[in-house]
Amino acid sequence: MAPRDKRLSSTPLEILFFLNGWYYATYFLLELLIFLYKGLLLPYPTANLVLDVVMLLLYLGIEVIRLFFGTKGNLCQRKMPLGISVALTFPSAMMASYYLLLQTYVLRLEAIMNSILLFFCGSELLLEMLTLATFSSMDRI
């Protein structure tokens, strides 16, 4: 537990978590609409469509857990929740990469949105590392 009179929390990290939360909500809705569009107009194999939608739902769960633990770790100044958030950043980045490169049909809109998500993941990973370092250094002192 960090000293209570020291404010070790990172404001930029909290701002990124805040923005990422709203952005991912928008992303999720748009992806659902896009899958509906592609399913109706394009010759989408049923197995591939089901796989993509299921992976989208998994991506939602991972993102929600990651953001929650990130916010908790940052505001409560605890390393374990923040570590969990760091660990979940990699599956999140993999999901974004899959939707950017490996899904059956990739629209330009999807490419742009997933690029932004990857940017969020990278920034948050960097800031989380810095915050963890700050917490550890304060504990050591």
Partner 1 sequence: MAEAVWSTDTGEAVYRSRDPVRNLRLRVHLQRITSSNFLHYQPAAQMGKDLIDLATFKPPQAASGHRPDEEEEEEVIIGWQEKLFSQFEVDLYQNESACQSPLDHQYRQEVLKLENSGGRKNRRIFTYTDSDRYTDLEEYCQKITTSAGEAPSFLVERMANVRRRRQDRRGVEGSKLKSRIITWEPSEDFIRNSHAINTPLQTMYIMADLGPYGKLGYKIHEHVLCVLKVDSNGVITVKPDFTGIKGPYRIETEGEKQEHTSAWKYTIDNVSSLAQPEEEEREQRVFKDLYGRHKEYLSSLVGTDFEMIAPGALRLFVNGEVVSARGYEHDNLYVHFFVELPATNWSSPSFQQLSGVTQTCVTRSLGMDKVAYFSFPFTFEAFFLHEDESDESLPEWPVLYCKVLSLDFWQRYRVEGYGAVVLPVTPGSHTLTASTWRPMELGLVAELRRFFIGGSLELEDPSYVRIPGTFKGERLSRFGFRTETTGTVTFRLHCLQQSRAFMESNSLRKQMRSVLDRLEGFSQQSSTHNVLEAFRRARRRMQEARESLPQDLVSPTGTLA
Q: What residue ranges bind partner 1 (CB under 8 A)? A: 7, 9, 11, 14-15, 18, 71-72, 75-76
Q: Which is nearer to partner 1, 71 or 114 (CB)?
A: 71
Closest distance of CB 67 from partner 1, Å: 13
Percent helix, strand, coil in the chain (nearest 5)?
Answer: 85, 0, 15
Greatest alpha-carbon pair distance for the chain in Å reads 62
Q: Alpha-carbon distance 78 to 132, whole Å?
A: 9
Instruction: Answer yes or no: are the C-beta atoms of 72 and 111 closer than 8 Å.
Output: no
* Smallest separation, CB 17 to partner 1 (Å): 9
- By beta-carbon proximity to partner 1, the closer residue of 12 and 39 is 12
Of the CA atoms within 13 Å of residue 137, those in its CB half-sphere come to 8
Shortest spacing between CB 83 and partner 1, in angstroms? 17
Tokens 């990469």 -> residue = 97
- Considering the complex, state which of residue 22 and residue 46 has its C-beta at the smaller distance from partner 1: 22
Find the shortest distance in angstroms from Cβ 74 to partner 1. 8
List C-alpha distances in Å: 120 to 15, 76, 124: 11, 22, 6
C-beta closer to partner 1: residue 20 or 103: 20
